[in-house]
């Protein structure tokens, strides 16, 4: 299991990276309860790109449909990735 703080930091970097997601988010305001769909306003294409980026970074396979159910918040996603990662996620 990876350290949740490392995972949180790397996921925040992915979300705000100009090369990956390019979302206009203030990383300091990311909260565990934030909804990926509602609060972050990820559309279906962004969710697919995000899944690919997470798989490349952490070696964790994600089905985009999980973002609508069990992984609908930033905190749930961080916990899932920290638990299931097969790569270190050091960037």
The CATH number of whichever domain residue 78 belongs to comes to 1.10.1200.10
With a cut of 70, say whether residue 61 has pLDDT above it.
yes
Domain membership flag for residue 56: yes
Beta bridge pairs of residue 35? 73
Domain membership flag for residue 73: yes
Instruction: Quote the pTM value.
Output: 0.86
- For residues 62-84, one letter each, b for 16 or more C-beta atoms within 10 angstroms of the residue's C-beta and e for the rest, the string is bebebbeeebbbbbbbbbbbbee
With a cut of 80, say whether residue 64 has pLDDT above it.
yes
Domain membership flag for residue 90: no
Domain membership flag for residue 47: yes
Helices 74-84 and 44-58, packing angle to 10 deg = 30
- The residue ranking higher by pLDDT, 29 or 18, is 29
């Amino acid at each position: 299991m990876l350290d949740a703080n490392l995972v949180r930091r790397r996921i925040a970097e992915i979300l705000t990276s100009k090369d990956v997601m390019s979302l206009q988010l203030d990383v300091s305001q990311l909260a565990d309860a934030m909804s990926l769909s509602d609060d972050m306003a990820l559309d279906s294409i962004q969710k697919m790109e995000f899944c690919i980026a997470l798989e490349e970074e952490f070696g964790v396979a994600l089905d985009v449909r999980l973002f609508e159910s069990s992984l609908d918040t930033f905190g749930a996603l961080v916990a899932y990735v920290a638990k299931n990662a097969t790569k270190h996620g050091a960037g």
